Structure 1
């Protein structure tokens, strides 16, 4: 994928599902189907964005920090 195509994909993802919303959905345990329905996007796009944006990894690390009692 060319650089411009990657940039366009990232921008479209942010416009359709903002990063803060993706992280919030991941923190609340939202499945791809729920995210797709909530933001009125396709299932494949929702799954791609939740993974490619790092939202699920951020949520996982946040939960680990909370469980360990670590605060920022």
Structure 2
């Protein structure tokens, strides 16, 4: 599979834990959560943004212990 330039930029933005990838759709958020499976939302801006996207879309419900 070849990536377009735009897709390369999106993929690159999802790889670095310290960079906020900006708005993402549910599919991108799901992929980001899988890419950053070993990360915590406290340390990883990508996982934090992805979790918020999925929660806002009603696709993920947080346990009370995870709400801060």
Give me the TM-score of the superposition, normalised by structure 2: 0.31
Question: Which structure: greater helix fraction?
Answer: 1
* Larger of the two Rg values belongs to structure: 1
With structure 1 as the length reference, what TM-score do the two structures score? 0.30
